Amino acid sequence: IVNIDCRKISHWEIQAIAGAVARELMTLRQQKRIPPLVFSIDEAHMFIPSFGDSPASPVIRELIRMGRHIGIGLILITQNPMDIDKRTIKLTNTRFIFAIEQDQLDHLKGVFSDTPREIIAGLPKLETGTCLLTGSRESIRHSIILKVRKRETTHGGETPSMVSK
């Protein structure tokens, strides 16, 4: 696991780094120079915004479309789904939706698959560690409520800095 700490660089630089890293991983994977992997992006709304694009947007959309074919899984994490481009959300095959505010829920219309309205209405009140699993018909046949177990491994390791000290 490599975690890149981008706290001390600008918003635009973070977007450029995410796009460059995604593009480089796709190239290396297509050339079979690296093994299959999972690329995770926290605060995804910064990279695929609902209005306009970032330097990373086209690359991330391409990774969503093509990544599984070349052995790259992509995890997009946000607390603000209404700040993510709707087309991009619909491209994803699997979604874990934890408790979110009602206004955020309204933005996710069309991605709930066969989830009953009562469950969707209850999403803002889900308890910690519980989520709705939904996705495209190819990946998730029916939506389901899941309880995510607590972490069993220990935390540790250094986070490489993207800025020299």
Q: Tens of pLDDT along 99-130?
A: 988 888 888 887 887 899 999 999 999 999 99
- For residue 16 the two structure tokens come to 């450029």
Radius of gyration of the chain (CA): 17
pLDDT of residue 139: 75
pLDDT of residue 51: 87
Strands 72-76 and 144-147: unpaired
pLDDT of residue 164: 64
pLDDT of residue 118: 92
* CA 65/CA 137 separation, integer angstroms: 16
Given a cut of 70, the residues of the chain with pLDDT beneath it are 157, 159-165
* CA 67/CA 87 separation, integer angstroms: 17
pLDDT of residue 123: 92
pLDDT of residue 145: 94
Q: Which residues of 63-97 are buried (b: 16+ CB within 10 A; e: fewer)?
A: bbeebeebebebebebebbbbbbeebbebbeebeb
pLDDT of residue 160: 66
* Token pair 């981008």 in the structure block, residue: 6
Based on DSSP, count helices (H) and strands (E) in the chain, helices before strands: 5, 5
pLDDT of residue 165: 57
